[in-house]
Amino acid sequence: MAGISSYGLHVAAYRLPHDEIARAWRSKSAKGEKAVACYDEDALTLACAAAQDLIAGTDPSKFGGLFFASTTSPYLEKSVSAFIAFVHRLGAGAITADFANSRRCASSAVLAAIDAVGSGRADEVIVAAGETRTVQPGSSLESVLGDGGAAVSIGQKDVLAEILASVSISDETYDEFRRSEAAYVNEGDPRFAASHTFAPTVARVTELLLEKAGQGREGIAHIALGAGNPRGVKAAVKAAGLDAQKLVPPYLDKVGYLGAAQSLCTLAQALERAKPGEKILWISYGDGADAFLLEATGRVSDLPPSRVDAAVADRRPLETYEQYLKFRGVFDNSSPGPGETAVLHHNEHEWNLPLLAHECSGCGLVFYPPGPSCLRCGATEGHSRVPVPRRGEIFTYTTDFLAVNPDPPQITTVCTAENGARLFLQGTDFLPSGAEVGLPVEFQIRKLHDGADFPVYYWKARPASR
Amino acid sequence: MAHGSIKDKVAIIGAGCIKFGDNFDQSYIDMVAAAGRLAMKDAGVEPSRIEAAWLGTYLPNNGLGKAGSTIADPLHLHGIPITRVENFCATGMDAFRNASLAVAAGMYDVVLVLGCEKMKDRAARGIPRVEHPSIGKGTTAPALFALAANRYMLEYGMPRETLAKVAVKNHYNGARNELAHMQKEVTEEQVLKAPMISEPFGLFDCCPTTDGAAALIVCRADIAKQFRDDYVLVKGIGLAAFSHMPYYDPTFDYLGFKSTQTASKMAYEQAGISDPAREIDLAEVHDCFTWTEITNYEDLGFCKKGEGRHLIEEGRTRIDGDIPVNTSGGLKSFGHPIGASGVRMVYEVVSQLRGQAGERQVKGASLGLAHNVGGPGAVSCVSVLGLP
């Protein structure tokens, strides 16, 4: 039986206080803050980082597929799942597909992953969601929407929770939507949505699922239902005949509602709270709903202390609304200089996206970029391509006020990876005085610049999280 | 492997340099013409006497300086070989090196070396970045050297105050040089309080962005006397290239530049120098940033690794010190139009050896050195020049 094998998270580290939004718009503040993508993050990088967190410490070739889910993909035409699978070196022939256009798209991808695993097409499939939704500035939803990524993997062996049943219903309605040419989500009338689309849909999908599974409501230990409107969630759960006390508490006042990534994040929270044998009702809403009944296995007791809590706690203050606007690209000062070309990308992406170094056949030196000759002994034949670990430490750095950067000063680093490779990398997510020689760092794919014809994604160094 | 020596085979018989600075009223062509004519006039030669020429320009602007032929019309050099040289910050001196080698090989009797760079026709952030779009993205010139400076300063416990003393010295010298870009003295306090550019470099730790051009007339040593008595001989030239992107090299310790150590060893061997600090009377070294001058002291063998700070702290590299460095004001104060710099440094050494340096004159100077480093550390060029 298919189940949830593992999960990973990357919540954008910057936090914009609701007070600051209220100051900018002279409105009333609801206490709290929301996660904001750094200027170099987008749905692709957030999902990529969440998948990296999921894969860390395992052999990436065991994954037979990766699905990307987002309503804010940086591309309308180009596969983000293919990019993430390439960066993380998934198995050859891994299936990839992008799911989009609904806040429910991550759970739709999970349904597809269950089918892929069930049919034997793949042993284990990752679903990685990333989201950076933006609403009309100054509108009520602005303080609610947060940026983040979450990932789960669906497999058959050694799962954290078995998926006992799943159902899906679709609905044709206008609550939140965004037209393809629009920059902002249209939030519609939240009260109408809560009472006339959200609550009835949750009630209906719950009924269908429990009937299919032959499961009574009293046996549900945890309800994972992530949405941006906590009052609406409680009302909907009540309408479905469920006990609102069983709801996994969301982090709305700490990171906000993460769009397509929210349902995966809430599921991860439920897995962290569940005891072996407990049942989880997981509902993902958007243009209908997907619902899943899961049962935690003994493996949940081996989970380390909450990684969701750690991701939420990994925060840097975003001091002003102006800084938020810069991060959203409202003031464009993208870095000048040459862009990448399709052929250069073709020549180099095999090593510069998965971050592969050469280990010298003669003297064992690990050097990057993986050029033909060893930097130390000059051997030219038989080097092995080795992955550069995603962690290391700062060898030297500078705080550069001259470099064009949306959030100056730019921290520029030279890092030594755990396998000895030396990397020149821009820093990101650093506090202005946060770098020091010897500081542990992790490497993440970020959007380096917008380039000429296409954005250039590459690695940056950030202070190590866990 | 052959280790030839250029010692006493080539002479410099003419040198010219225009005023460096914000030369907004001069085009690239104007500067080429002015510097070239100054050098020819100094040597007493006409364009028709020039048999070959080398042009040093790092970054062509608006197509000017891309090919050697850029200087053919303004200097009326038609029908001779003209070659453009580009080698990072060693561009100008490598043009001089190539010209010297051609003369030493017996191919030509009299040749021209010209370095020119028009930098003040771009946005306000220094050298435009032409780096690799991913693995080299985010570099700035100060940041690349700051990466090394920070590691060095941590290793040797050197404070920013020591860096500031380099700026104070070189501005002092530049204030006495009518061709320098910055002709103003600065205090240590001003240097330390200046706006930060790339830590540990504040504004006064960085060389300015400058327009300029300089030129040399080089000939066979055995015919130099036909042109003038106070000619200057090339005693040795070395150039060494290392990793193009040293910040990826796991063997790089960031405590100095192998390229300078190696290039200077080549030049010293040819010149027969065993104790450079004692034998060399003055040196023009590549002080693109204050820290660079300190590591240069060590890499050029003026002192041991890690002890460079004592030379500046004890005033030994002032004009009246025992090893005067950057009497011209250096890149720091004279300016650093990249392709022009190496040629300009040779010009300063020639002026000093001829005794024409005015109040900056190092008394009794007979052996001088000029040095560039670029990359940082990817390439260095060292020239030793002396009186006959």
Residues A315 and A391 in one domain: no
Contact yes or no for B284/B369 (Cβ under 8 A)? yes
CA-based nearest distance B251→chain A, Å: 7
pLDDT digits (tens, 9 = 90+) for A110-169: 999 999 999 999 999 999 999 999 998 888 899 999 999 999 999 999 999 999 999 999
Residue A297 sits in the same domain as residue A258? yes
Q: Are residues A269 and A318 in the same domain?
A: yes
B chain contacts of residue A424, beta-carbon cutoff 8 Å: 135-136, 139, 245, 247-248
For residue B317, give every residue at least 6 positions away whose Cβ sits within 8 Å of its Cβ, in sequence order, or none.
Answer: B169, B297, B311, B323, B324, B325, B326
Across A303-307, average pLDDT: 92
Q: Are residues A293 and A360 in the same domain?
A: no
A348 plus A300 within the same structural domain: no
Mean pLDDT along residues A388-402? 97
Domain presence at residue A335: no
Whether B181 is a known active-site residue: answer no
Q: Do B137 and A404 touch (CB under 8 A)?
A: no
Distance CA A291, CA A285 (A): 9
Q: How many CB atoms lie within 10 A of CB A319?
A: 12
Instruction: Give the closest residue to B258 by CA, choosing from B277, B238, B274, B278.
Output: B238
**How many domains does chain A divide into?**
2
Amino acid (one-letter) located at B122: R
Contacts of B143 in chain A (CB under 8 A): 398, 400, 402-403, 410, 412
Distance from the Cα of B112 to chain A's closest Cα (Å) equals 34
pLDDT of residue B126: 64
Q: The complex's ipTM?
A: 0.92
In chain B, what is the greatest distance between 2 CA atoms, to the nearest angstrom?
A: 57
Pick from A276, A302, A327: which residue ends a domain?
A: A327
Active-site choice (B89, B207, B288, B303): B89
Instruction: Compute CA A102 distance to the chain's CA centroid, rounded to the nearest angstrom.
Output: 16
Domain assignment of residue A337, yes or no: no
**Within-domain flag for A124:** yes
Is A437 within 8 Å of B134 when comparing Cβ atoms?
Answer: no
Of the residues A301, A327, A353, the one at which a domain ends: A327
Question: What integer is the mean pLDDT of A204-230?
Answer: 95
In 3-state terms chain A splits into helix, strand, coil percentages (rounded to 5) of: 30, 30, 40
Give me the pLDDT at residue A336, please.
62
* Tokens linked to A450: 């917008």
Q: Is the residue at A13 inside a domain?
A: yes
| pLDDT tens per residue, range A261-271 | 999 999 999 99
Minimum CA–CA partner of B153 in chain A: A396
**A348 contacts in B (CB within 8 Å)?**
134-135
pLDDT of residue B374: 93
Choose one of A302, A327, A352: the last residue of a domain.
A327
| Confidence band for A432, pLDDT divided at 50, 70 and 90 | confident
Strands B379-386 and B367-374: antiparallel
Top-confidence residue, B340 or A342: B340
Q: B148 to chain A: nearest residue by CA?
A: A396
- C-alpha to C-alpha distance for B348 and B357, rounded to whole angstroms: 8
The rounded radius of gyration (Å) of the Cα atoms in chain B is 19
pLDDT, one tens digit per residue, over B76-100 is 999 999 999 999 999 999 999 999 9
- The structural domains of chain B, with segments of one domain joined by +, span 10-121+209-221
Domain assignment present for A66: yes
Q: Is B244 a catalytic residue?
A: no
- Which of the residue ranges A138-152, A303-317, A333-347, B367-381 would you say has the lowest mean pLDDT? A333-347
A383/A271 same-domain check: no
The CATH number of residue A224's host domain is 3.40.47.10
Which residues does residue B386 pair with via DSSP β-bridges, in sequence order?
Answer: B233, B367
Within this chain, do residues A174 and A287 fall inside the same structural domain, yes or no?
A: yes
Test the B interface: residue of A348, A366, A396 with most B CBs within 10 Å:
A396
Whether A313 and A356 map to the same domain: the answer is no
List of chain B residues whose C-beta atoms are within 8 Å of the C-beta of residue A410: 138, 143
Q: Is A450 on the interface with B (CB under 8 A)?
A: no
Task: Confirm whether A390 is domain-assigned.
Answer: yes
What angle do helix axes A230-239 and A199-213 make, rounded to 10 degrees?
A: 50
Q: What pLDDT, on a 0 to 100 scale, did the predictor assign at position B1?
A: 44
Candidates A352, A376, A412; nearest CB to B147: A412
Chain B: nearest CA to A37, how far in angstroms? Answer: 20
Check if A96 contacts B (Cβ < 8 Å).
no
Across chain B, which has 388 residues, the per-10-residue mean pLDDT values are: 84 98 96 98 98 96 92 97 97 98 98 96 69 88 96 98 98 98 98 97 97 98 98 98 93 96 98 98 98 98 98 98 98 98 98 97 98 94 98
A·B CB contacts under 8 A:
130
A31 and A172 housed in the same domain: yes
Kindly state the helix (H) or strand (E) to which residue B368 belongs, with its residue range: strand B367-374
The CATH label, of 3.40.47.10, 3.100.10.20, 3.40.50.150, 3.40.640.10, for the domain at B10-121+209-221 is 3.40.47.10
pLDDT for A231 equals: 87
**pLDDT at residue number B261:** 98
- Shortest CA gap A405–chain B (Å): 9
- Tell me, yes or no, if A424 comes closer than 8 A to chain B by beta carbon: yes
- Determine the average pLDDT of the residues in A393-414: 94
For residue A334, what pLDDT is reported? 63
* Same domain flag for A228 and A358: no
Q: What's the full length of chain A, in residues?
A: 466
Closest CA to B134 of A337, A448, A406: A448
Does one domain contain both A321 and A347? Answer: no
Q: What is the mean pLDDT of chain A?
A: 94
pLDDT at A466: 64
The parent domain of residue A44 ranges over 3-327
A127 and A227, same domain (yes or no):
yes
